[in-house]
Amino acid sequence: MKGEFAKKLGLSFLLTFFMILGAAVTTGMNQPENERQKANPLKKNQDRRIPLDLSKNLPKATIVDESSEAAAPIEKADSDYDYSGFADNQRGVIPPGAGAGMTIGLTIHDIQHMGRMTRQIAWRESHNIHITWMLKNRDFMHPYIRLTKYQFWDATVGQIKWSPLHFPWGGDDLHASGERSGYSGIDIMSDGRALVYNHYDQDGLEPYDCLPTIWPDNPPLSGKWGWKQGVPDPYDTDVQNCAFPDTPPISNWTISCPSGVWPYVAFHLYDNGAIEDTIIHILAREAEGESISSDGGRLAYWRRFGAGPDPNSPGLDWASHVVDTITTIGYVVECAQEGVATGYEGKVALVWIAPWPEIPGDIESATPNGVNFLVEQNANDIYGIISMDGGVTWGDKFNITQNDFLDKGWAPLSDLSALIDSDGRLHVVYSARQFINTNDGAPQEPIDMDWPLFPIAGRIFHWSDEQASPDYISIVKDASHDWTMYDSICMGGQWSMMSVTKPMISQCDDKLYVIFSQYQDVKNGIWDNCHITNWINGDYIGSANSMLYFAVSDMINGGLNWDPARALTDFTQRCDTGFTGIPTDPVDPLALNVCHSHAWASMTRFGMEVGPTDNFYNATVVNDASWNQTESPDYYLDVVYVDDLWPGAVILGEGTWAIDPIKWFRFPCVDAEAQPVLALDPAGIYLPDWGKTGEPVEYTVTMSNVGNTPLTISDIRPEELNNFNPGIDGWLAVNDNGFGGNISEALPGNSFDITLTINNGGIVDELYSPAVLTGRIIFESDSPGGSDTLNISFIVADTLQIPEMSIIYTDQIGLAVGNDGSYGCGLYDTLGQMDFHVLGSADIECDTCSKGIGNFAHKYLYDASPFILTNIDNDRRISASVHNMDWLSRYEGVADGLRPLDGMSEIIEGANADYLKTGIACSADSTVGLKSIYVAPQHPDTGEFIVQILKYYNLTDETIDDLFVGTVEDWDIPSDSGVRNTSDFDVDRKVMYMTGWEAAQADTFCNSSDKGNDCNESDLRYGGSTFFGGFQYKPGGIGTDNKVEKNQGVFTAKTVSWLGDNLRGHLPAERLYDTLNSAFYGYSPWWATDWGAGGAESLYRDLTMITSFGQYALGVEDTLTFVRFLVSEYQGGLAGLQESIDKARAYTLHYLCCDIWGKPGDANTDYAVNILDVVYIINSIYKNGDGVKWPSSTYDPDGESDWPTDNCDNLMNVDESITGNGHVNILDVVYLINFLYKNGPSPECPYSIF
């Protein structure tokens, strides 16, 4: 995606990313993390498939109803000690497969870490395997309650300590259920005690005051955790101090004491022959509770020096300093282990991801400010700092990645891992996605850059301080392949949208190993490894199943080369996890079609050589017959992961609750496979890449060998596809630049550049332009698979207008607007969704009862667009810019997006209002044009509405019959659970509206009853659109018959019905035409047919509002004009909404109606100014005649109803701009006569803002 294109097309995948998202996202892509609940998966007789937020960038949640049914205990059975009673346990050696491993615990909190993983599995000299994980369980579904678990495998007796069969959820609880912790990791102390760590809030109540906390077991393997310590103060004091007390919190935070959260901890036995000391290193970041600020948070390092961490030991003080300010959760602390090479015993490394510096390659990151979570949160480098004396003194900071953001590079988001190997070398692995500066080497905002194949494509890279130059950064796994050909592909969720995520590096038997999660394998044709809701509900974000892979490099090679990655698990394509109806078993894990998403994996730092007294006979070993282990067959690495039976991070609105096994397996430290691997950069040429008519465009394609043996490429072959005319044959050419056929694996000389020319010789000239060219380059080589393809889609045209976005604000709300007709605009900016804010910046909204992504109170109108629906020769075509309908989209082979033809004006500031005009956008078949105007009043009393003016034009040379025009609006009014709205209407005010859902019953979200405990009641939040009036201009006079006083009709329906299911975010033209053409009129709100399994909340759904202005014959010179109000209500309920509509009507009649009509002086509204208008004005003033009959044809004088007036009388006030006279009187009659007969000045609209 190119430049502004990222703001609509590319970000339609996010996440919003993305997220922001996102993201939040988001983006979302990345957003604040709060608990949210899903449709109760444990409730009997519930539907197997839960309708989620369909075809949207951020899937939303449904509700858990805990009021009627409590969880039954897990029954004990007389079976094998380690069998959990939940899933089939695999013993002994097994091949890679779905759900591989032994179940050692359970959780319903699937996501274990935002961003990077910690080590959640560890061992030391005793060879016992220690594991930790984060737990939320069925017995404690309250959002505040979250626990940390500990488990170990006793290598002497050969069994786990706390089986899920005999102990609830398996493992040992670190603390009571009324306390709150999470995002844990583990290390092992020199005396064999487990050192579990997490962030922890003692009372478990909001606002969370979390501290990085260590939990040493005492004695070893006992499950006694009384010696916990938080930094900076122990928890046995009466007052908890801030984790960041030294400087004030970030200015826009509302709390005075930020939390220290998402810690990473390393235990260090520093023994250099002269000194032996224990040191605990902690790295954690600042947050508001558990939320990420767009202005970032400080990253701090704490060091505890002394004997064992108990209250009576020396060294209670935690030395600390702030390292940097960061926007993600990407940082690790790594220290040397016993047995490291002499001179490296005290080596400690801090490695973190932070924003790009001011100058490319600099060692100091820039301070973040209002980071867009969707894109800008990706604009990072990786930084590091090393100590050689256990953290007493530190060297200089260094920049590992040194991205040249004035050109191009690979930017990490949050995934990284580090290892100091036995030779003392620091290794760092990380995931990153590509960016390209498109501003000819000048500075460019990240959101305007090109992020190819965003958000899925990515790579995993390796760096070592042995050869610290970026020239020696190697590729562990290339997954930047072209996924665009798969229009129903699904992806990982927030923090995992990249195709390869969560890498972790370890050492075993003189080799380095990296494990990682991969979503899909499009290079090998795997694109549908998804939950079935990807198709039935359109939940393409978060529904992909994670696969676990590993790659190997020999220690002597130092990570410069890696073998082709091999799978540790297997695919479960188009899986359909469903409910069994048994309360303690929401899914059937043995069903053939159950999903297995092998997510949030962690690996031991070093491999273990199993000795003769070690008992692992009943453990699970994943091994494939093709793997070789030639030198030391008794070395193993251990892996723990969440076997997510319904993929996606449920607390982020993805998937639904499931009781997920925590799986553990081992795999042998096998040899690296000797193979070359071809990687292409770019991976393809994609729309909207374009070139001018008659001009060739060259691309440099870099062929890299990212394997570990020399690569031979035997053929590079261009192929042109679907040429529409033989006259353009030969438009694609390749210059191999003297390539000899071979590429070495040795860095930095492991690549070669060839030149690709599109529109070769300018062959696509004025005769054939505009044109879309499609083709491909085939590379034949000895890389695995033997053949690689670079796909090409390219536009040739004189000019190309891409989508642009902007936000217009009142004093209270904002609306994002696009030149492609869109408004609300999905994830473009959360301040532009009819939300409430302060001066166009900070949200003033509180979140409803501590919910997470998908139901924040700062989103009212998610995404919306006018639509154009034609029926030409019985060919029904629809065009819109909503959800997945955009300027390049196609549904079932037919283009269905509105295409921008012009840019957008700057926001014009006026005394009474700001306004914004879009250029013309046209229907996908170029028959109908659309122009939009948005007016935002600037008086505090008129801040809850925005006036929308839509104009439709005929772009052809003949009348367009059978034309429907209207809008589709996806309102998501904030609710206590996900997106749950209901709708109703007010005929007098011509409005259909939606309102949020308030959980009035006792539930799991707020203590006891939710009603009255929210920061703002959801059933007092409203949003909707009101029809003001319209008309059809026809040359030669408009006439009263061409006025449009009301919509044809408005209906609301479940979003899944009109944009979900197999529609995947596209409106169905045929069905909508049939609906509107079947005598449809009036207001038709969606009603639930019954309460359903979910109880009262089943009456509330994610709804979409579709409005038809009517069916028209649009002449060649005709213009259709419609005026509407978009209204949000914060806490005033229906009465507040109605009051805002009344104000909007009065405002429009006073300030805008004359401008909209376009003919000041046209008192009788026949679209001509003449003597008849003079007579009309005289009659109105002196003979009790009518006012100007627009927008209504029926006169309703002031005082006869609640309306201020029903007429645009300002059309008669033609002299106000000259005389300042604000009334219609005889002076206006004289003014109009002078204009008509005495060459006087033209009539002007009073109070004109245009």
Average pLDDT over residues 717-725: 90
pLDDT of residue 814: 87
Rg (alpha carbons) of the chain, rounded to whole number? 32
Interior/surface letters 57-95, b for 16+ CB within 10 angstroms, e for the rest: bbbbbbbbbbeeeebeebeeeeeeebbbbbbebbeeeee
Which H helix or E strand runs over 684?
strand 684-685
Q: Is the pLDDT at 591 greater than 50, yes or no? A: yes
Q: What are phi and psi of 316, to 5 degrees?
A: -75, -20
Query: What is the per-residue pLDDT across 731-769, written as a single tens digit (0 to 9) for each?
Result: 999 999 999 999 999 999 999 999 999 999 999 999 988
* CA dist., res. 971 & res. 486, Å (int): 29
Q: How far apart are the first and last CA of the chain?
A: 34
In a domain, 434, yes or no: yes
Q: Kindly state whether residues 605 and 702 are assigned to the same domain.
A: no
pLDDT of residue 258: 64
Number of domains in the chain: 4
CA distances to 388, 419, 601 from 350, rounded to whole Å, are 12, 11, 22
Query: What is the per-residue pLDDT across 194-234, written as a single tens digit (0 to 9) for each?
Result: 999 999 988 887 777 788 999 999 888 888 887 788 776 44
Q: Is the pLDDT at 870 greater than 90, yes or no? A: yes
Q: Is the pLDDT at 325 greater than 80, yes or no? A: yes
Place of tokens 């201020």: 1204
pLDDT of residue 352: 98
Residue 478, strand partner residues: 459
135 CB-near residues (< 8 Å, 6+ apart): 105, 106, 107, 109, 146, 147, 148, 149, 169, 171, 173
Average pLDDT over residues 785-810: 90
Q: Kindly state whether residues 139 and 242 are assigned to the same domain.
A: yes
In a domain, 943, yes or no: yes
* CA dist., res. 717 & res. 871, Å (int): 44
Structure tokens that stand for 319 in this block: 């030395």
pLDDT of residue 690: 92
* CA dist., res. 64 & res. 39, Å (int): 5
Q: What confidence category does residue 633 fall into, taking pLDDT thresholds of 50, 70 and 90?
A: confident
For residue 248, the one-letter residue type is: P
Average pLDDT over residues 590-601: 84
Q: What confidence category does residue 257 fall into, taking pLDDT thresholds of 50, 70 and 90?
A: low
In a domain, 328, yes or no: yes
776 CB-near residues (< 8 Å, 6+ apart): 718, 719, 721, 789, 790, 791, 792
Q: Is the pLDDT at 252 greater than 60, yes or no? A: no
CATH of the domain at 1023: 2.70.98
Place of tokens 């006439």: 1039
Residue that finishes a domain, picked among 1081, 1104, 1137: 1137
Query: What is the per-residue pLDDT across 1154-1209, written as a single tens digit (0 to 9) for each?
Result: 999 888 999 988 888 999 999 999 999 999 888 888 887 765 554 444 544 678 88
Q: 2, 10 in Cβ contact below 8 A?
A: no
Cβ contacts of 1156-1161, under 8 Å, gap ≥ 24: 1156/949, 1156/1121, 1156/1123, 1157/1031, 1157/1190, 1157/1208, 1157/1211, 1158/1033, 1159/1211, 1160/1211, 1160/1214, 1160/1243, 1160/1244, 1160/1245, 1161/1211, 1161/1212, 1161/1214, 1161/1232, 1161/1235, 1161/1243
* CA dist., res. 17 & res. 11, Å (int): 7
pLDDT of residue 1168: 87
In a domain, 1213, yes or no: yes
For residue 1090, the one-letter residue type is: D
**Mean of all residue pLDDT scores within the chain:** 82
Q: Kindly state whether residues 552 and 455 are assigned to the same domain.
A: yes
Q: Kindly state whether residues 1103 and 1187 are assigned to the same domain.
A: no
pLDDT of residue 310: 52
* CA dist., res. 681 & res. 703, Å (int): 7
Which H helix or E strand runs over 70?
none
Query: What is the per-residue pLDDT across 96-141, written as a single tens digit (0 to 9) for each?
Result: 999 999 999 999 899 999 999 999 999 998 899 999 999 986 555 5
For residue 938, the one-letter residue type is: Q
CA distances to 372, 385, 953 from 331, rounded to whole Å, are 20, 12, 55
Q: What confidence category does residue 1234 fall into, taking pLDDT thresholds of 50, 70 and 90?
A: very high
pLDDT of residue 442: 92
Query: What is the per-residue pLDDT across 398-441, written as a single tens digit (0 to 9) for each?
Result: 999 999 999 999 999 999 999 999 999 999 999 999 999 999 88
Q: Which residue has the higher pLDDT, 368 or 197?
A: 197
Q: Kindly state whether residues 745 and 811 are assigned to the same domain.
A: no
Q: Kindly state whether residues 736 and 846 are assigned to the same domain.
A: no
Q: How far from chain centre, in Å, is Cα 79?
A: 44
User: Over 89-137, what HEC string results?
Assistant: CCCEEECCCCCCCEEEEEECCCCCCCCCCCCCEECCCCCCEEEEEEECC
* Total count of residues recorded for the chain: 1250
In a domain, 427, yes or no: yes
Structure tokens that stand for 913 in this block: 């209002």
Q: What confidence category does residue 72 fall into, taking pLDDT thresholds of 50, 70 and 90?
A: very low
Residue that finishes a domain, picked among 618, 635, 668: 668
Helix axis angle for 1226-1237 and 1171-1182, nearest 10°, is: 170
Q: 849, 1019 in Cβ contact below 8 A?
A: no
Q: Is the pLDDT at 951 greater than 50, yes or no? A: yes
For residue 668, the one-letter residue type is: P
For residue 893, the one-letter residue type is: G
The backbone region for 962, taken as left when phi is positive above 0, alpha when psi lies in -120 to 50, beta otherwise, is left
Q: Kindly state whether residues 205 and 278 are assigned to the same domain.
A: yes
CATH of the domain at 695: 2.60.40.10
pLDDT > 70: what percent of the chain? 81
Q: Is the pLDDT at 91 greater than 90, yes or no? A: no
pLDDT of residue 248: 36
- What residues make up the domain containing 300? 92-668
pLDDT of residue 590: 54
* CA dist., res. 16 & res. 134, Å (int): 26
677 CB-near residues (< 8 Å, 6+ apart): 478, 564, 705, 706, 707, 711, 783, 784
988 CB-near residues (< 8 Å, 6+ apart): none
Q: Is the peptide bond before 207 cis (omega within 30 degrees of 0)?
A: yes
Query: What is the per-residue pLDDT across 443-485, written as a single tens digit (0 to 9) for each?
Result: 999 988 989 988 899 999 999 999 999 999 999 999 998 887 7
Burial of 436 (0-12, 13-18, 19+ CB in 10 A): middle
For residue 793, the one-letter residue type is: S
Least confident of 242-251, 798-807, 1037-1046: 242-251
Quickly count: other Cβ atoms within 10 Å of residue 238's Cβ.
Answer: 4
Q: Among 312, 313, 286, 315, which residue's Cα sits nearest to residue 303?
A: 315
Q: What confidence category does residue 75 fall into, taking pLDDT thresholds of 50, 70 and 90?
A: very low
Q: Which residue has the higher pLDDT, 873 or 417?
A: 417
pLDDT of residue 317: 55
Average pLDDT over residues 1220-1224: 78
Q: 1051, 1108 in Cβ contact below 8 A?
A: no
Residue 399, strand partner residues: 383
765 CB-near residues (< 8 Å, 6+ apart): 693, 694
Query: What is the per-residue pLDDT across 519-536, written as a single tens digit (0 to 9) for each?
Result: 999 988 899 999 988 877
In a domain, 675, yes or no: no
Q: Among 931, 918, 925, which residue's Cα sits nearest to residue 960?
A: 925
Query: What is the per-residue pLDDT across 652-700, written as a single tens digit (0 to 9) for each?
Result: 878 887 889 999 999 999 999 999 999 999 999 988 889 999 999 999 9
Structure tokens that stand for 1085 in this block: 């709100």
Q: Kindly state whether residues 749 and 641 are assigned to the same domain.
A: no
Q: Kindly state whether residues 216 and 98 are assigned to the same domain.
A: yes
Q: What are phi and psi of 491, to 5 degrees?
A: -145, 170
Q: Kindly state whether residues 438 and 516 are assigned to the same domain.
A: yes
Least confident of 73-77, 580-584, 638-642, 1168-1172: 73-77
Query: What is the per-residue pLDDT across 832-845, written as a single tens digit (0 to 9) for each?
Result: 766 665 554 445 55
Q: Is the pLDDT at 1094 greater than 80, yes or no? A: no
Q: How far from chain centre, in Å, is Cα 150?
A: 32
In a domain, 652, yes or no: yes
Average pLDDT over residues 31-50: 25
Q: Is the peptide bond before 1246 cis (omega within 30 degrees of 0)?
A: no
Q: Is the pLDDT at 889 greater than 60, yes or no? A: yes
Q: 1037, 1166 in Cβ contact below 8 A?
A: yes
Angle at 132 between CA 91 and CA 179, to 5 degrees: 140
Q: 144, 37 in Cβ contact below 8 A?
A: no
1093 CB-near residues (< 8 Å, 6+ apart): 43, 45, 46, 47
Place of tokens 């000045």: 1241
Place of tokens 């019954």: 1090
For residue 563, the one-letter residue type is: D
* CA dist., res. 119 & res. 122, Å (int): 7
pLDDT of residue 813: 87
Helices and strands per DSSP (H, E), number in the chain? 8, 64
* CA dist., res. 86 & res. 584, Å (int): 9
pLDDT of residue 314: 44
Q: What confidence category does residue 1064 fall into, taking pLDDT thresholds of 50, 70 and 90?
A: confident
CA-CA-CA-CA torsion sign (1007, 1010, 1012, 1015): positive
Residue that finishes a domain, picked among 1137, 1164, 1192: 1137
Q: Which residue has the higher pLDDT, 1022 or 256?
A: 1022
Structure tokens that stand for 327 in this block: 């926007």
Q: Among 557, 492, 559, which residue's Cα sits nearest to residue 529?
A: 492
Q: Is the pLDDT at 707 greater than 70, yes or no? A: yes
pLDDT of residue 1167: 83
Q: Is the pLDDT at 911 greater than 80, yes or no? A: no
Q: Kindly state whether residues 1035 and 1165 are assigned to the same domain.
A: no
Average pLDDT over residues 903-916: 86
Q: What confidence category does residue 996 fall into, taking pLDDT thresholds of 50, 70 and 90?
A: confident
Q: Is the pLDDT at 256 greater than 70, yes or no? A: no
Q: Is the pLDDT at 570 greater than 90, yes or no? A: yes
Which H helix or E strand runs over 781?
strand 771-781
In a domain, 673, yes or no: no
Quickly count: other Cβ atoms within 10 Å of residue 841's Cβ.
Answer: 12
Q: What is the DSSP letter of 845?
A: P
Q: What are phi and psi of 1192, to 5 degrees?
A: -100, 150
Q: Kindly state whether residues 1116 and 1158 are assigned to the same domain.
A: no
